[in-house]
Every structure is written in C-alpha cells, then in structure tokens.
Structure 1
C-alpha cells in the first residue's frame, strides 16, 4: 500500500461533492482493507475530508483506503495530466484504479488494493475475465497487468527503483531511520515501487515486535513526499520445486495511514532490499510474511517485479 502522491481539489468543475455515498463493497488483501465504489464517469469529487470520514474506524466504515472504479478515458477528461503517466498504454486500460489513503490523500498505487480491485471489477460485472487471463488496469503508476489464478491474484508491478542509485545499492543504505521501541538509529535503503519506501532490518522476533508504529518513524534525510517504512527480519531460505525461496517477516508504517496489516508495494520493496543485502546468489523469489498473511514477490533480472497474493471481498455496504 502507498501514501500520498498529491492532494488535488475537485477533478473538474462538473464533479459533484460526495453528499451521499453510492453502494460500496468492503474487501481486503492479507488484511490490508479497502472500501470500493463505482464512479464510471468520474462524476464524484472525492473530497479528502469525506474520504477520511468514510474510512475512519470509529465513526465510519473503517478501511486503510478507498478505491474508485472509473473508466480511464473519463478520468483523463478531468485529469489530463494523467496522459503523461499512462502514455500509449492508456488505450489498453478500460478501467482505472483511483486510490485514496485513509487520510483522503491520493496515492500512486497499492499492490494489495489492485488485487482486490480486480475481484471487484469481476464481481460487479464490469469485466469478464477467464481464470489466468490478464487485465490491463490504469493507475497513477502507469498501466499494470493483473490476473486471477484461483484464489490468488498476480500483479505485474513494474520496475523497482533506487533513489540513491548504485552507491546506495553497493553500501546497502542511503538513509537513517529511528523507530520508537527499536534501539538506535538503523541504516535504511530507499526503494521506489513507485511509492517511496525505506527498508530497515532487525535481527530478531523480539526486535520486530518491539517496534512502536503508532507514529511515523523518523527518516533522515527527510523524504520530500514522505515515505512508507518497512521493518524486516530475515528468516532464511528454502528450496521449493528446485527454486530457492527467501523468507522475510515484515511490519510497515504507511504514510497517510499508520501501521497496516499488509502493504503490497512495501512487500516488494522489502524483497528488493533483502536481495540487495543478501548479495550475489540471493533468491529471486521471496515470501513476505506480514501480520495479515503471506504474499510472494518475484524479482526479474531486468528489475520487473511481480506480486502474488490473495484478495477477498467480504461485504456489500449500502450507506445511509
């Protein structure tokens, strides 16, 4: 899951502020939970205050974020700047995943959210997709291909990046992170997925459990757009069907949200960092165990990343 990319005003002068929410669906991916709605023609102004009220866990429905299903061309009409992000691929994506964090801020992408989004599109009859077939989905990170395979959904997440460049990758860090409950500042490695992440390592279950994530960790240098922070514990490797699989345990603090049970882009960033730290010969396949379950991350030599995990719809909601 992401954090805030921008906080735009109304999408257009014709967009109507949300006074009454349309019917909603609640879903989650390894405990990272969302409310989803359809606004095919981009007619709603998703005011940050209204979104934050809806996702509030005590006074609203409660969720880590909100996902709007909107037709790509309709959103381009009111946010023409997205054309630079989507490029020629825009024609492949009938539907766009418009994502808001729990605080109402707009985010680039959400790895768990896009898996739940695919389930939602099929469940609502907005797309017909045979098992194993891929669907192109527009996001603020570009057009991504998503496919369902039984109980799991796989996402081609695009390429990871290292803001610190080769020097950071060689050193294994480019930031210093202080987390309440964890002794001392820890070296962190910045990874974009494309949401910004900084990954740190701890040595034991006890250290991981001691991290107090009710407030954001302090990151130096301060990321200009904020960052998610992943805390990772290495669990070793195993062999599965002749393939080496690395295993890590992870907790995450997400910008604009707080600690969540899972973070898809964060799991990808954590796997990248773990492979960098493990050095030559490290696995390309990683199982990332988060409080909400387990996701698999596959790292290709060209920097492409695939995220695989469950996605579940749990309730239909008719707001009052």
Structure 2
C-alpha cells in the first residue's frame, strides 16, 4: 500500500505521493490507473515528491541550487512525464509545508526542482506565488478548431514552462459553448505536450490597472482542466501582446475553477512571469498500486 494525499490548485487536482528516497518507480499504467475518475482515485495528474539528490534528474539541479531539497516528478493523467505544472507546484509546496517536510519562513521562498528547472514558490495572501521563469514567443500563427466553433481560429504560440497556443474568442457565450471533451484540431503538428487556451478579454479589458480575461484550457495528457496555471500565464501574455504597449503587467484570469493572478516583471536574464493562486489538500489515504 502507498500513502497519498489528494489536493487541488484552483480546481486542477493532483495525487501527491511522498517518496523521499526515490524508491517508488511509477509506471505509466499505474499513473493512468490512479488518475482514472471511475476506477482510481481520480486526478489531472500525479506529483511524486523525491529528495533532489535521490533522483538522477534532480542531481544536476541540486548543483545549481543546493537549497532545492525536493524534486517534483510531475505526470499527466495519461502517465506521461511533464516538465512543470503551475497548479501542481503550488499543491506540492503546500503539501511539503503542511507535512513539515520543508519550511518557508520570514518571507523566504521554497525552491523546488522540476524538469523545467528550479522554481521558487512563496506563500501569499491568495495561496502561493511561483516564479515560472522566462517565457518566449514562438513563430507562426497556428489555427485551432474546437467542437462548437464554426470555423478555425488563429492562435498565438508561446512557451511558458512548456508549449502553449492561445486562441481568442469573440464572447463569453462562445467560450462557454465550445466542447473540449475531444482535443482541439490544430493546423500544425504540435509538440505532444502543447496546451491550448481559449480566452475572452473582458470589456473593459483593464480595471484599476489590472487586465481581466476569462479562459478555458485543454491540457495534453489530461484533457480539459478546471484551472491551468501555466496556461493562465500564457493567456495573460497573449492578451497583453494583442493589446499593445499600453497593456498592464498585472492580470486576473478567471477559469472554471476560480481566479488566478499573473504578473510579468523584468530580471537580468529577461522578463519573467509569475503565477499566484490557491492550493488545498482535501483528503489522505492509501492505495494498492498492484
């Protein structure tokens, strides 16, 4: 039997398994079974937390940031490994702090190693704030077609802890009407980990210096999720790009699972994007992986 906790970050839910010494080798089939919403625990993904020095993937990162004691082995519901999860890392941080496996006191951040690199997480008034690092625009304007849309719509491709395509829709009614039970069709052959965000800017777009956007997301490997942390960051970056030079650097992204906050800020290595949102543990249990 393996002990686990179930948590969510703004509706995106995860199974968290502490494996400090890296003794548990989860297979793709086991992750799929755990995440199955009829026959398993049910989740958008699995987060296995391993001490950084106990995993080959984490050892190189430990040299970069010795204080990053924990490595987040993130898996999508289909069992594939993911580089990072903006919602998942908040849940991971909350678990580590709640279990007294890590500390983040006196305003200090909690560095967590991921396949995308070290990510700094800090408790905030709304839950947790995470620096997602540098982002970049990708060339091209792919077309995306979801069930419920009359014609394909152009999207903006970005990389924020993974590849994203952001598609603007005309109204909230159109956003509500699309069916994301099936993957949206794209005019390009995307990276298999690409997430697709459908967004509607509010009217007015900016209120009290903060941009407002509604979003739904289809995450490869998991399907539609209620949150979408890195997707919220991609949505904010895309709408800011479309809005022009006068657009703000602070954004409020409304998702089916709640509200996420996004902030862009300059650093010596280039502009970073940060994500703020809730994280909660809802129950604990044991499961037979056999």
Q: TM-score range by the shorter chain?
A: over 0.9
SS in 2 for 1:266: helix
**1:23 equivalenced with 2:3 (yes/no):** yes
SS in 2 for 1:45: coil
Q: Is the 8 A contact 2:163 2:191 kept in 1?
A: no
- Kindly report which structure 2 residues correspond to 1:119-158, keeping only aligned pairs within 5 A, or say none: 119-130=94-105, 132-158=107-133
Q: Is the 8 A contact 1:295 1:308 kept in 2?
A: yes
**1:305 equivalenced with 2:253 (yes/no):** no
Q: Is the 8 A contact 1:131 1:147 kept in 2?
A: no
Superposition deviation, residue 258 in structure 1? 0.5
Q: Is the 8 A contact 2:192 2:220 kept in 1?
A: no
Superposition deviation, residue 259 in structure 1? 0.5
**1:262 equivalenced with 2:227 (yes/no):** yes
Superposition deviation, residue 138 in structure 1? 0.2
CA distance in 2, matches of 1:75, 1:184: 47
Superposition deviation, residue 88 in structure 1? 4.1
CA distance in 2, matches of 1:87, 1:25: 26
Q: Is the 8 A contact 1:132 1:149 kept in 2?
A: no
**How many equivalent pairs are there?**
284
Q: Is the 8 A contact 1:131 1:149 kept in 2?
A: no
Q: Is the 8 A contact 1:72 1:90 kept in 2?
A: no
SS in 1 for 2:136: coil
Of 253, 261, 277, which aligns to 1:288?
253
Superposition deviation, residue 218 in structure 1? 1.0
What is the RMSD of the two structures over their aligned residues, measured on CA atoms? 1.6
Superposition deviation, residue 223 in structure 1? 1.0
Q: Which runs of 5+ in 2 are unaligned?
A: none
Q: Is the 8 A contact 1:161 1:194 kept in 2?
A: no
- Relative to structure 1, the CA distance from residue 203 to residue 310 in structure 2 (aligned partners, 3 Å threshold; closer, same or farther) is same
Q: Is the 8 A contact 1:131 1:150 kept in 2?
A: no
Q: Which runs of 5+ in 1 are unaligned?
A: 1-19, 169-173
Equivalence for 2:93: 118
Equivalence for 2:236: 271
CA distance in 1, matches of 2:95, 2:126: 14
Moved more, 268-277 or 148-157: 148-157
**1:60 equivalenced with 2:18 (yes/no):** no
Q: Is the 8 A contact 2:205 2:213 kept in 1?
A: no
Equivalence for 1:315: 283
TM-score normalized by the length of structure 1 = 0.85
CA distance in 2, matches of 1:59, 1:280: 50
- Relative to structure 1, the CA distance from residue 278 to residue 87 in structure 2 (aligned partners, 3 Å threshold; closer, same or farther) is farther
Of 192, 210, 220, which aligns to 2:159?
192
Equivalence for 1:218: 185
Q: Is the 8 A contact 2:82 2:115 kept in 1?
A: yes
CA distance in 2, matches of 1:315, 1:206: 35
- Relative to structure 1, the CA distance from residue 24 to residue 226 in structure 2 (aligned partners, 3 Å threshold; closer, same or farther) is closer
Superposition deviation, residue 143 in structure 1? 0.3
What's the CA shift string for 1:290-311, capped at 9, x where partnerless? 0000000001243200100111
Superposition deviation, residue 133 in structure 1? 2.2
